[in-house]
């Protein structure tokens, strides 16, 4: 097989994309430290990218956010990627919503802020033609956060929104129902 070199992208961008893919391979192999090294190299190569390359390289920044050890830095990276995606792709683009969902469920945001942000993501997912099925998982996360915040009424409301579209292979009513019972006041 003959592979033609990609001449339409600057070499630094090609290297950044390669390093990003190597980071993803390291993540898949559960080699977090190695992944971090590759992602940091990718981000360093990607500095100053613009246009289509900048959009493509956002996945490299999101990958780094997954593997850094500092939770504050991780949150800042996720926030930066989400803001850049919203600017470059739009606030309702699937990648923007995915990054915001990940940030709300994985970072050190205050729980109330995470619940509020995720509720906005869930609403946007419900309205998106290809993401509506993903709204259930999103609403369940909002429900769990609201429950942790001691807000059973809003936890129940979110979980009730999750139930009708819960995909059996991802989230079943048996996963949501116990929390609904708990927050409705029937812990037995």
In whole angstroms, what is the distance from residue 35 CA to residue 28 CA?
9
Spatial contact of 58 and 100, defined as CB atoms under 8 Å apart: no
Q: What pLDDT shows up at residue 166?
A: 55
Q: What is the DSSP string of 152-184?
A: HHHHHHHHHHHGGG--TTT--HHHHHHHHHHHT
| pLDDT of 126 over the 70 cut | yes
pLDDT digits over 154-164, tens only?
999 999 988 87
Q: What pLDDT shows up at residue 49?
A: 72
Q: Which long-range contacts (C-beta less than 8 Å, at least 24 apart) are formed by 19-27?
A: 19/45, 19/60, 20/57, 20/59, 20/60, 20/63, 23/60, 23/63, 23/64, 23/67, 24/63, 27/63, 27/66, 27/67
Spatial contact of 170 and 137, defined as CB atoms under 8 Å apart: yes
What average pLDDT does this structure show over 134-145? 90
pLDDT digits over 38-92, tens only?
999 999 988 877 767 778 888 899 999 999 999 999 999 999 999 999 999 999 9
Q: What pLDDT shows up at residue 171?
A: 56
């Amino acid at each position: 097989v003959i592979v033609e070199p990609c001449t339409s992208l600057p070499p630094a961008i090609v290297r950044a994309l390669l390093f990003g893919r190597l980071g993803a391979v390291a993540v898949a192999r559960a080699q977090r430290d190695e992944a971090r090294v590759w992602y940091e190299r990718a981000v360093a190569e990607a500095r100053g990218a613009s246009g289509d390359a900048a959009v493509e390289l956002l996945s490299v920044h999101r990958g780094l956010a997954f593997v850094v050890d500092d939770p504050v830095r991780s949150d800042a990276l996720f926030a930066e990627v989400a803001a850049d995606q919203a600017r470059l792709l739009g606030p309702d683009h699937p990648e923007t919503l995915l990054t915001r969902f990940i940030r709300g469920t994985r970072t050190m945001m205050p729980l109330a802020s995470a619940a509020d942000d995720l509720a906005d993501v869930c609403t946007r997912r419900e309205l998106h033609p290809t993401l509506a099925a993903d709204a259930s998982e999103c609403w369940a996360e909002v429900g769990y956060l609201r429950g942790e915040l001691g807000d059973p009424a809003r936890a129940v409301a979110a979980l009730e929104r999750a139930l009708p579209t819960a995909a059996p292979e991802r989230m079943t009513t048996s996963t949501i129902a116990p929390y609904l019972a708990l927050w409705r006041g029937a812990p037995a």
